[in-house]
Amino acid sequence: MSTTPERRPRPDGANAGPTTDRRALLRGAVAASAALSLPVAGAAPAFALSGRPRAGWGVQAGDVTTSSGLVWVRSDRPARMVVETSATDSFRRSRRSYGPLLGPDTDHTGTTALRGLPSGEEIHYRVLLADPDDPRRVGEPVYGTFRTAPHRRRQDVRFLWSGDIAGQGWGINPDIGGYRVYEEMRRLDPDFFLCSGDTIYADGVIEPSVRLPDGRVWRNVTTEEKSRVAQSLDEFRGNFRYNLLDENVRRFNAQVPTVAQWDDHEVRNNWYPGQILDDPRYAVKDVDVLARRAMRAFAEYFPVSTLPAVGGGGTGRGNGIGRGGRMHRVVRHGPLLDVFVLDMRSYRNANSPGRQADDEQGILGAEQLAWLKRELLRSRAVWKVIAADMPIGLVVPDGSTDFEAIAQGDPGAPLGRELQIADLLRFVKHRRITGTLWLTADVHYTSAQHYAPERAAFGDFAPFWEFVSGPLAAGGFPANALDATFGPERVFVRAPERANVSPMESPQYFGEVQIDGGSGELTVRLRAEGGTVLFTKVLQPGRVGQ
């Protein structure tokens, strides 16, 4: 088995960490923690004002390719963003990139694109914040690292995925060390992290404390923005800032780049374009208005290559994000891997019983479906990960009669949103597109489903796998029922027996994917917080279906 130069071989993937401590990362973590330490329950942090800009919220990188990456920062005041990169943590030979002016229009956040980077190498970076009126007044630098994707197959690729953060009232608990699963993921030293949606819970209030069924008390760090559902732009921004209060998250962000997508809770539970709310908590009833604000805040707080940091864009029936950017994109990670990030929110039709015999819009919209087919067809990567924010064959209800995802509990021929997925699966089979697998989160447990035409009501597709993992910091829920339309078999599942089990009562879950640079073999591991590998599946490259 070949290995990347930066890490030891991991024959079984269990309990393996980085080969060396990253001095640059430690410096950055110390600087970030000094500026923003984890507060006690019931209190939000306060910045001590000084004469120079400060980046107390840490740094993060995103959408890293063989030669490029995005770097993000937030300042405590207006500042000019400058990023220096180097092959070593000494920064003796560094390259400087000038970023945007950070001001109130973006909540003092900003992203700088780094291009012309060497492939398959460790990139050390530091972010400097300069006073816009006096460039000589520069704040303390904040450090980070990431690895660019390899342009040759001999290097392994390894990434993690999960989702669902700060959900169901379970926030940052200082008694258990905050979001400690992030530290566990950081120690695995992946090339990147795929965040599969529900990056925040804008509709989820964080109370100072919650009493558990066994009598223990869960304590939360609280903020003003998390004391109510998010409706204004500032309230959505405050939800994204909340997770950055956790030092585990900031350390993770400084070392591991993220490929981020959204699902429903970035706006509101089970939302769809055109929805008018019947919810007394909301003064703003038009979901499209809320979605525009949420997407703007998302673009400000995550480095995403297809989203602008300023401006609204419009969500609405059939037009997705609208002007100014889109969530769906391909992140190309060298010859071994392309990641197809889907947006199953902005283009979908209304949630319904899902029994219609004709449904062109579906969950992706005609435009996004055409894009996905086109990009899958032109992909030359050995493996094509379809990053879906919702599962295919798991029945996810919305109320007593409607359905939230694709499946609607009817085991027969495709109906409703299933028609669009059937079209896509048929396309993949007939165009002999190899190496596809689906990754998702959403349902707050972990499982592996194998889909096969001989078990299905609709059989015109090649077999494929769907892997589910989550949550990272939210309530656990029982396993959903399966819909037989595409012939899923639940090969593995680990889920609580009751709804909304706290992270103190049940482990959090994340998944790991490793692609061997020599053979092209892909290994999926479903992991539980605490270091346990629950399930492993090895897939071979070059097959139409397996």
Question: Of the candidates 142, 129, 144, which has an alpha carbon nearest to the alpha carbon of residue 75?
Answer: 129
Distance (Å, rounded) from C-alpha 475 to C-alpha 469?
Answer: 13
Q: What is the DSSP string of 277-339?
A: ---TT-S--BHHHHHHHHHHHHHHHS--TTS-SS-----BTTTBT-TT--S-EEEE-STTEEE
Q: How do residues 372-395 score in pLDDT, each as one tens digit? A: 999 999 999 999 999 999 999 999
* Helix and strand numbers, DSSP H then E, in the chain: 7, 25
Which residues of the chain have a pLDDT value below 70? 1-50, 309-324, 543-545
Those residues with Cβ within 8 angstroms of residue 496's Cβ, 6 or more apart along the chain or in another chain: 445, 476, 477, 478, 505, 506
Nearest to 326 by CA among 317, 336, 315, 310: 315
Set out the domains of the chain in order of their start, with CATH numbers. Answer: 23-147 (2.60.40.380), 157-539 (3.60.21.70)
Collapsing DSSP states into helix, strand and coil, what is residue 512? strand
pTM greater than 0.75 (yes/no): yes
Rounded to 5 degrees, φ, ψ at 512 are: -130, 135
- pLDDT for the residue 153: 87
Cβ atoms of 233 and 220 closer than 8 Å: no
Taking CB atoms within 8 Å and a gap of at least 24, the contacts of 184-189 are 184/529, 184/530, 184/531, 185/160, 185/252, 185/256, 185/510, 186/248, 186/251, 186/252, 186/255, 186/256, 187/17, 187/18, 188/16, 188/17, 188/160, 188/512, 189/6, 189/7, 189/17, 189/18, 189/255, 189/256
